[in-house]
Structure 1
């Protein structure tokens, strides 16, 4: 079963212009990321088809000592150049390649020699290959740069990543922007960017991760959900519940999404740790984002909670009377 939120259950007269501006901005950014990734891929292919690239492939194949019919990720020129040439953390990337089983037979001297060869060949490759825009925008592991925290929030891994985050932004963000105003709305978002970014930097510092990259708006989406969960937990959200492949339209209270999504991420955080290695999901960002939204709303918006409760009661009565 999967629940997809769509929009607030009652009609509002105001438009959430800031929310839709953010949707357009993130779609534009990812369009540029995809164009850049295509250019980088073409540049990697050109390099690997050159004499230098072919020599590099032969070097990797020889060092891996694998049978000709066995496929391994890190003996191919495109795999190694694509991984290393576009990233900022070169030492971490070299370590990642050399830790592959393909090179497990090399002693320390052999590893040092292969690292030197990699550095030389990647230096040549970078004359052909531009740096990935996605990597420029992402928040690197252990980074405390607030600008990268912000750009990482606006960038995404692929189109499905963008689409799902935009669906959740529209479902939870539009009504929150209307009820608290665009300035407070932006304040919640910036608070989310900082708390999620700091938590990611601290977590990667503690576990020694140097290659990880954080991307996506989902931490902010959970902040918006957390704020709504405090302000109006019983407010209806028009949703689609998928049971298998069968979609069923429903109206579900905000508390259901808090229980399923935020509660689920908190459970995963304590059961599996901050990162889901199998899916690449930053569970910590979701949990921290949701808690940030709830705590900030409880601290700053408590007087608004009663007003919203009364408005929702009247909206429910009016809708019932019109049936």
Structure 2
């Protein structure tokens, strides 16, 4: 096992990244609400499926042997299928596809597929009226529709706790440094939004020849912060936690080295990996847009700070032995 975890930029710019911290707290709060809502939806589904509608749906799913796609052994087919439908933005389309797949079987059993699809849709609507809104579905964004505000909003939602924590570790390390570098709250937020607009544009182009996919999470913006910092302070030193098996130590790596490492792997996976839950396109394009935004709008700022940064780098070289230790 190899671990490389960046956690803080060593810099001479004495400013606290309040906005970065606030965004991190917002992401944690939103995911807490997402997970709480998911529990309430499951409870609503269990209650709904205990009635007559639920038993009918359960028998139908078991007959088609579709329950294994949606359920665990601890829940009914009805309950898990309703939760699944409630998490999708086009449940009627999913129902129609399910019925269409088994149209011949249904006709042989004397069941009209179209009537069944209508019945299932009405059953789901009855459930949806009493179930809480699925916050994850509401916040997720269909890549390719080009709606920058909706795309930006989806960045604050995540799929699970590992997803949000992993993104925030990198966001705090790199976005905090970018915020300190820019030293202006409005410009920092505008830079984040500009990166998301660029991502949305990229998705729209990419989805012209592929089905639009739902996306959520902060990783595209995180990559944008890595790219931004690679231009702004390429030789800046990031404190990192390293680990091999059970041996851990901490030290520093230059920003450009980390950018090359992370973005390089994203480029590799983008061209070698098929369908994946990780949006490598967002990672790569985010890094490119972050680098470009820094180069277009913050060249002067980089020049103003370069002397202080160079002095700090000299100090790091002199104190490197004292800064590196073991936990």
TM range (shorter): 0.7 to 0.9
1:159 aligns with 161
Change (3 A) 1:156 1:115: same
Alignment length (residue pairs) = 310
Quickly say closer, same or farther: Cα 1:257–1:105, change in 2 above 3 A.
farther
Q: Distance in 2 between matches of 1:54 and 1:141?
A: 36
Q: Which runs of 5+ in 1 are unaligned?
A: none
Q: Does 1:289 align with 2:291?
A: no
Corresponding residue number in structure 2 for 1:232: 233
Contact 2:236 2:313 in 1 (8 A): no
Normalised by the length of structure 1, the TM-score is 0.86
Q: 1:20 — aligned with what?
A: 21
* Contact 2:86 2:128 survives alignment (8 Å): yes
* 1:104/1:251 CA distance change after superposition, 3 Å: farther
Change (3 A) 1:17 1:96: farther
CA distance in 1, matches of 2:115, 2:162: 41
Counterpart-to-counterpart distance in 1, 2:205 and 2:148: 14
5+ unaligned residues in a row in structure 2: which ranges?
72-76, 323-327
Deviation per CA, 1:155-206: give whole Å up to 9, x if none: 1111111111111111111121111122322121011111112323443443
Q: Distance in 2 between matches of 1:20 and 1:99?
A: 49
Aligned partners of 1:225 and 1:258 also within 8 Å: yes
- C-alpha distance in 2 between matches for 1:164 and 1:238: 17
Q: Supply the distance in 2 between the matched residues of 1:141 and 1:198 (Cα, whole angstroms).
A: 9
TM-score, normalized by length of structure 2? 0.85
Q: Does the C-alpha gap of structure 1 residues 74 and 21 become closer, same or farther in structure 2, counting only changes over 3 Å? A: closer
Give the conservation status (yes or no) of the 8 Å contact 2:61–2:67: no
| CA RMSD after TM alignment | 2.6
Residue among 280, 303, 306 paired with 2:300? 303
1:277 to 275, 284, 299: 275
Instruction: Summarize the alignment of residues 85-104 of structure 1 with structure 2, pairs less than 5 Å apart.
Output: 85-94=86-95, 97=98, 103=102
Mapped to 1, the partners of 2:99 and 2:4 lie a distance apart of 42
Question: Corresponding residue for 2:181?
Answer: 179
CA distance in 2, matches of 1:290, 1:16: 20
Q: Give the superposition deviation at 1:96.
A: 5.9
User: 1:170 maps to which residue?
Assistant: 172
CA distance in 2, matches of 1:196, 1:170: 20
Mapped to 2, the partners of 1:104 and 1:257 lie a distance apart of 54
Q: Which moved more, 1:141-150 or 1:108-117?
A: 108-117
Residue-by-residue CA offset, 1:131-166 (whole Å, 9 max, x unaligned): 301111111244323331121011111111111111
